[in-house]
Every structure is written in structure tokens, then in C-alpha cells.
Chains A and B, each alone.
Chain A
Amino acid sequence: MIKFNANDGILYALVAMVLVVVVAQSLFFFINAWKRAKETNMDMDILKKVVITSTVFTILPAISILLGVISLSKFLGLPLPWLRLSVIGSLTYELTAATTAAATVAASVSKTVTDPSVYSRIAWAMTIGSIFPLILVPLFSEKIQKGVSKIKTKDSKWGEAFIAALFLGMISAFLGVVFATVSTGLSGWIPVFVLLASAAVMACCGLIIKATKAKWLENFALPLSMIGAMAFSIFITNLIG
């Protein structure tokens, strides 16, 4: 049997192959959408702004995902967490999947896996566990789109309210979860203070845009509110944490 290493070169090669496919898909959709925008005479300046804003917006969450890769790498080596958090995955689910699979063979998540059969089982479990959306999307995406169009065609005002409600429902769950630690004392309120700081920076940006007509700021308001709130979290944690 070939000697196993969770950071083996072949595993990095496999990750590289998958990432090439994913980046190629992103480029393919990007180019197609860009071409369609040109055909329909969309304002190309808006699209350029979308690219800049999306790039700036992505940097901090991507670093946070990188932290997830690093934390899982202590247990699984780098290639598997790198793959799982770059394709489909998110840290919460991948950590759960890895620890659940490890628990079935009583493997410790604090040590790097050295047994290839344990590693293989974890890799299969993480992959099968996360692959379901890739079956659902091709089956239902078109039907969902038709359903939404039907609602909008029937009653456009209600259609817009429906989409807004769908999004606000999602946002309400993520706002609510910020309050989950408040019963643990003052330090449990830190996420709430960070949330409020982020909202305050966003509101200030809105006021500045209104007062100075600084349209460019619209594209950077959300990244700025995120950075401001993250900086505030360091301050508030040192103060009361």
C-alpha cells in the first residue's frame, strides 16, 4: 500500500483540477452574462462597478473562509478543507461533516489523520453530504424561475413584495442568531454591538451619499460597514470581552 499523507502532492493536484473546473465555470457564466448585457444595451459602467464592488466585498469573507481551511487543516491536512471550502461547502457544515465522520471511527479531530481508510471515509462522507444541491438545482431551477415569473406576471407589485419577503425572512434568521449568546452576560452582547456598529456605518454612508451626492460611495458602503464593524469588534472585545 502507498504511504498516506494528508498533504500528499496528488491531493493538491486533485484540488487544483477541481478548482480549474470551478473557475472555468465562473468565467463561462461571466462571459455569457457580459455578452448578453451588451446585446441588450445595458449600461456597461454599471457592470464594471458590479465587478469592482463584488471584488472588494468578497475579500474579508474570503479571508474568513481561509481561516476555516486553516482550522480544519490541523485535522485533515490542507487539500481536503481547501477543496471543500472552495466548492459547495461552508465552514459550519464541513466542520460538522468531518467531525461526524471522524466520530464513527473514534478519530480525534485534534490530530492529523494518518490512516488512509479514515481519511477516505471522511472524504466520501463530506462529498456525498454536500453534493445534494447539485442534483436539486438542475432538476428544479427552471421550475422555480417559472413559478417566480408567474407570480410577477400575475401581479407585479405582489411579486416584488414576495421576493423582498423571501429575502427578509432569510436576513431575519441571521439577525436573530446574533442574539443567541445574550443570555451569557455582557460579552454575549458583543455580536449585537457589532451588528449595530455595522448598521450605523451603513446608515452614515447613506446620509453622506444623500448630503454630498457621492454616488461612488454606494458601491463601497457595504464593504465599509463590514470593515468598520470588524474593527469595532476588536475594540469592544478588548473593552468588555
Chain B
Amino acid sequence: MKRDYNQSTHFWGRIWILGAMAAMLAFPLVVSLHYGAWPQIPSLMKALLGIIPIFWTVAVIEVFTYSPMLGPGGTYLAFVTGNISNLKLPCALNAMENAKVKPGCEEADIISTISIATSSIVTTVIISVGVLMLVQIAPIINSPTLKPAFDNILPALFGGLAIAYIKSNWKIAAAPIIFMVVLFILIPSLARSVGILVPVGSLISILFARLLYKKGLL
């Protein structure tokens, strides 16, 4: 039976994701085998207990929040290549916005996939070149002059992105933005858990949008 594009994306996506998982697990496995250094289970469990509750919760949140925006092809790629909220998602959304398509249709999925694939390849190339030329590059990008620029990459990215989206959806945007700004001013320590607050923002946003929609204000 011939699969259509969507079915094929899910079929191959699952196969590639399993391959990526095997490749990733190969690293600690070969390290343990090659150096004869297997971690002791109790101490590994102790380390995992400090990591898994947060990481796996964030993983659930990210999969359910970002997948509808990324589309199936983009989702299978972005979750393997990582750096989603700070790179892949803004990159894909920017591409969809420029192409004047909305997430959730096949055209948007194609654009999202091409955008994320391009971004992943470029990221891999830049990091690889950077690592191989570390001696030459490190003094430049680590220079005190450029430090503020890289320290502020997130506000530099989200400022422009926010304007592009808020201008066409300002009615929906107001409530979650006001809530989050006030929350972070009152409890600055939450900055470390921003990933966990993403669905809170989305929930407020969806509820507020629903309210406006029901009242015929959207």
C-alpha cells in the first residue's frame, strides 16, 4: 500500500527517531565498554533522580505544546536536533509567517520541515567548524566585548518575533504577557523553570482566546 505524504512522514519519522536514539545511546555505551567504566547503578540513579523529574516533565510539555506548531515533519526533526525554543521553533514560525501560511496545513508542514532541516544542518556545520577551529575562534567569540551580545541572545530573538506575532494577535497576547511579566518580576527565581511555565502561558492564552472568541471579539 502506497503511503501518502503525511503517513510517510510518520512512518519514516519513527524509524529515524529510533535510529537517532540508538546512535545517542551508543556514546555512553561505547565509553563504558572502551574504558571498562560502567556507572554504578545506585549512583547513576541518584544523578537521574536529580535530572528526570524536571527534564521529563519539560519533555512532555514541549512535545504537546510545540508539536501542533511544528507540524509532523518538523516535530520529528526538531526533537532530535534540539534547541527548539531558542532556535528551531522561532526559525520555523518565521518561515511560515514569511510564506503567509498558518501552522496546521500540509503547506505549513512542508515549510516548517524545510526550515528546521536547513537550520539543523547549518547548526551542525557551525558547531563542527567552531569545534575544529576552536583555537582560532574561541578568543573572538569569548571576547569580553562580544559577551553582552551573546548573553542577550534570547531577548534579541524574542523581541522581533513577538512584534511579528503580537501585531496580528494583540487581543490574545495581552493576558498571557501581562501575567508572565508580573510573575517573573514578583518571583525572579522562576527564570530557571521557564520551560515549565510555557504551558501555563499557553493555557492562559487559550482560555482568554476562547473567551474573546465566544464573545465575538476575535
Contact = CB atoms under 8 A, between A and B. Distances in A.
A136 B159 CA distance: 31
Interface residues of B, number: 158
Given A134-B21, A229-B156, A26 B77 contact: yes
Interface string A83-119: 1011111101100110011011100000000001101
A64 to B, nearest CB: 5
Nearest to B103: A163
Interface in A1-54: 1-2, 4, 10-11, 14-15, 17-19, 21-23, 25-30, 32-34, 36-37, 40, 42, 46-47, 49-51, 53-54
A124 B193 CA distance: 23
Given A50-B118, A90-B83, A121-B43, 17 more contacts: A50-B99, A54-B95, A67-B150, A82-B131, A89-B83, A97-B55, A101-B51, A124-B32, A138-B18, A164-B169, A166-B68, A168-B176, A170-B69, A172-B201, A183-B188, A195-B155, A229-B159
A172 B205 contact: yes
9 contacts: A46-B111, A53-B115, A88-B80, A117-B40, A133-B62, A145-B6, A174-B85, A175-B180, A190-B148
A226 B94 contact: no
Interface string B123-140: 110111011001001100
A175 B118 contact: no
Contact of A32 (B73, B127, B157): B73
A85 B128 CA distance: 11
Nearest to A78: B131
A22 B80 contact: yes
B131 A4 contact: no
Contacts of B52: 128-129
Contacts of A50: 95, 98-99, 111, 114-115, 118
Interface residues of A, number: 152
A2 B34 contact: yes
Contact of B198 (A18, A89, A173, A229): A173
Interface string B192-218: 001101111111111011100100001
Interface in A204-227: 206, 218-219, 221-222, 225-226
A92 B82 CA distance: 12
Contacts of A149: 104
A54 B119 contact: yes
